[in-house]
């Protein structure tokens, strides 16, 4: 008795013979195909995330398809809150105002308040309009303990030149809401620490604003895909994103230090209420005898003063036809945001916007990994990916006060990534 998916292999083979993309009109109708994965992300001593995802696609014939994706992710651990280490233990107030967390002496302060679960659902519909035009629409919804996002997107593409050249454009609109426990902290206000003072509650409440804030996001993308030759395809695209609303991280603070480098107070961070991001992206894929090379470069810049370069290289080394090994390397380089400061020294005037979130600083990051995949008997695919991520942040403060000269102000962030995928 033949296994069922000989038909999938046959369809793929006929698509190869007739030179059509298997996701075009010559796909199987009425069949659901699934792609699933579980991601395990773990930072050394910090955040751990487990993220299962499942995606189902149904072909309705004539290149019309519906895709549904469900993601669940669970986050635990601790994340740097932006404060500097000190030679004595430090105490910080939890976002809710009830309780505190501490950092030991010489330890980078980490906030372990969040233990979050997120659910996200998206659906996407694609269809041709006529021989040359294709379009698609989708909606996405995501919710977690203190954050909710709703978005819709649409895209249009047009083929030219015997489908060798394709122009595409896309638009996405999103509306996000953040409603942290304890309400949104008032930016740049001083963090109130509970020392047992009688009016702690009212002092704390004075630093809290609304229960929720929103942000609007508009994304535009323009892309061009070009077939270079039988075995090479290339793409360039330009993206534009306009975000406005509450862009601050309500859990991050900035240390205000004395001349000796010890903290005098902590201020809640405040980012601008608008951000415009742009990027240029280029990608090429080329097949050698059997192996495939995938190389891409992205140049990003925004009006917060951040620019970055990302280079990503993958090489799929086909072993005997049913297995492959794919090494991967990614290099990332980012320049800091205009308002990024590691700390403030007493006497400096606080600007309108400041953040000590290391993710906005000068950094370089390297990812190296390997993926192994195999096709099973009934054309199902299984793969395992292992990656190592190392991020190092640079100092741009001209003066390092007192005790901080003996401390690690910019610890490396290291993470391990493991992902198991199954297509069926």
Partner 1 sequence: MNDRPVKLIAADSYWIGSFEAMASPCELFMEVDEEAQARQLLNIAAQEAWRIESKLSRYLNDNPVHLINNSGGNPVEVDEELAQLLDFAQLCWQLSEGLFDITSGVLRRVWRFDHGSQLPRQQQIEQVMPFVGWQKLTWSRPFLTLLEGMEIDFGGIGKEYAVDRTLQLLQQHTDRALLINYGGDICTGGMRLSKQPWSVGIENPSHPDTPKGVLKIRRGALATSGDTRRYLIHNGKRYGHLLNPKTGWPIDAVSRSATVAAATCTEAGLLATLALLQGPEAETFLQNQDVQYWLTS
Partner 2 sequence: MSVSCFAAKYKDDESMSVKLFLMTVVVVLSLAGCANLGVEPWQRSVLAKPEMQLISDPLSAGLDDHIYFSKEASSGGRGFAGGGCGCN
Residue with Cβ nearer partner 2 (60 or 281): 281
- Does position 3 interact with partner 1 (CB under 8 A)? The reply is yes
Distance from C-alpha of 366 to C-alpha of 41, rounded to nearest angstrom? 15
Question: Count of residues binding partner 1 (CB under 8 A)?
Answer: 26
- Does position 2 interact with partner 1 (CB under 8 A)? The reply is yes
- Give the three-state DSSP class for 372: strand
- Does position 287 interact with partner 1 (CB under 8 A)? The reply is no
Which of partner 2, partner 1, none binds 217 (CB below 5-8 Å, type-dependent)?
partner 2
Gap between the terminal Cα atoms of the chain: 19
Which of 32, 34, 45, 61 lies at the binding interface for partner 1 (CB under 8 A)?
Answer: 61
Give the strand order in the sheet containing 344-345.
263-268, 253-257, 344-345
Distance from C-alpha of 220 to C-alpha of 201, rounded to nearest angstrom? 45
Cβ(299)–Cβ(309) below 8 Å? yes
Which of partner 2, partner 1, none binds 293 (CB below 5-8 Å, type-dependent)?
none
Give the tokens for residue 203.
């002092």
- Does position 16 interact with partner 1 (CB under 8 A)? The reply is yes
Cβ neighbors of 70 (< 8 A, separation 6 or more) are: 53, 54, 55, 119, 120, 121
Distance from C-alpha of 357 to C-alpha of 341, rounded to nearest angstrom? 8
Piece of the chain touching partner 1 by CB under 8 A; list 6-14, 38-46, 93-101, 361-369: 6-14
Which of partner 2, partner 1, none binds 322 (CB below 5-8 Å, type-dependent)?
none
For 358, other C-beta atoms within 10 Å of its C-beta total 22
Phi then psi for 49, rounded to 5 degrees? -135, 140
Piece of the chain touching partner 1 by CB under 8 A; list 24-32, 174-182, 258-266, 344-352: 24-32
Residue with Cβ nearer partner 1 (16 or 351): 16
Residue with Cβ nearer partner 2 (197 or 232): 232
Which of partner 2, partner 1, none binds 102 (CB below 5-8 Å, type-dependent)?
none
Piece of the chain touching partner 1 by CB under 8 A; list 20-28, 106-114, 173-181, 297-305: 20-28
Q: Whole-number minimum distance, CB 101 to partner 2, in Å?
A: 19
**What's the burial of 55, exposed, middle or buried (CB within 10 Å: 0-12/13-18/19+)?**
middle
Looking at residue 262, what DSSP letter applies?
Answer: -
Residue with Cβ nearer partner 1 (144 or 159): 159
Distance from C-alpha of 42 to C-alpha of 74, rounded to nearest angstrom? 12
Which of partner 2, partner 1, none binds 135 (CB below 5-8 Å, type-dependent)?
none
Which of partner 2, partner 1, none binds 385 (CB below 5-8 Å, type-dependent)?
partner 2
Residue with Cβ nearer partner 2 (267 or 371): 371
Looking at residue 362, what DSSP letter applies?
Answer: S
Give the tokens for residue 14.
């006929």
Which of 34, 130, 224, 236 lies at the binding interface for partner 1 (CB under 8 A)?
Answer: 130
Piece of the chain touching partner 1 by CB under 8 A; list 8-16, 94-102, 205-213, 276-284: 8-16
Piece of the chain touching partner 1 by CB under 8 A; list 17-25, 198-206, 350-358, 381-389: 17-25
By C-alpha distance, which of 153, 147, 187 is closest to 169?
A: 153
Distance from C-alpha of 419 to C-alpha of 370, rounded to nearest angstrom? 11
Which of partner 1, partner 2, none binds 10 (CB below 5-8 Å, type-dependent)?
partner 1
By C-alpha distance, which of 69, 56, 70, 64 is closest to 23?
A: 64
């Amino acid at each position: 008795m033949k296994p069922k998916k000989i038909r999938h292999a046959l369809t793929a083979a006929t698509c190869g013979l007739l030179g059509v993309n298997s996701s075009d009109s010559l796909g199987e109708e009425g069949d659901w195909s699934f792609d699933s994965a579980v991601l395990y992300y773990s930072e050394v001593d910090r955040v751990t995330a487990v993220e299962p995802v499942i995606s189902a696609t149904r072909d309705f014939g004539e290149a019309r398809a519906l895709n549904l994706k469900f993601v669940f992710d669970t986050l635990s651990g601790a994340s740097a809150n932006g404060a500097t280490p000190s030679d004595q233990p430090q105490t910080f107030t939890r976002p809710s105002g009830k309780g505190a967390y501490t950092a030991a002496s010489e330890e980078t302060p980490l906030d372990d308040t969040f233990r979050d679960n997120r659910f996200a659902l998206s659906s996407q519909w694609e269809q041709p309009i006529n021989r040359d035009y294709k379009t698609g629409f989708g909606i996405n919804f995501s919710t977690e303990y203190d954050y909710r996002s709703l978005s819709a997107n649409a895209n249009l593409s047009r083929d030219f030149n015997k489908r060798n050249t394709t122009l595409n454009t896309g638009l996405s609109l999103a509306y996000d809401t953040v409603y942290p426990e304890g309400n949104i902290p008032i930016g740049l206000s001083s963090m109130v620490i509970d020392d047992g003072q009688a009016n702690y509650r009212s002092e704390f409440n004075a630093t809290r604003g609304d229960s929720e804030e929103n942000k609007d996001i508009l994304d535009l993308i323009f892309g061009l895909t070009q077939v270079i030759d039988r075995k090479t395809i290339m793409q360039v695209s330009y993206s534009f994103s306009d975000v406005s609303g509450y862009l601050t991280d309500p859990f991050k603070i900035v240390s205000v230090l004395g001349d000796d480098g010890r903290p005098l107070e902590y201020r809640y961070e405040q980012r601008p209420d608008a951000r415009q991001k742009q990027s240029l992206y280029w990608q090429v894929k080329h097949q050698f005898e059997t192996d495939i090379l995938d190389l891409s470069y992205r140049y990003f810049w925004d009006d917060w003063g951040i620019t970055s370069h990302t280079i990503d290289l993958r090489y799929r080394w086909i072993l005997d036809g049913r297995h492959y090994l794919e090494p991967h390397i990614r290099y990332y380089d980012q320049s800091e945001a205009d308002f990024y400061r590691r700390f403030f020294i007493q006497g400096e005037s606080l600007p309108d916007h400041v953040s000590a979130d290391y993710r906005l600083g000068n950094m370089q990051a390297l990812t190296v990994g390997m993926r192994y995949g195999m096709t099973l008997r009934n054309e199902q695919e299984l793969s395992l990916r292992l990656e190592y991520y190392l991020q190092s942040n640079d100092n741009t403060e001209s003066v390092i006060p007192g005790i901080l000269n003996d401390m690690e102000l910019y610890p490396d962030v290291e993470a391990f990534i493991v992902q198991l995928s199954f297509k069926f």
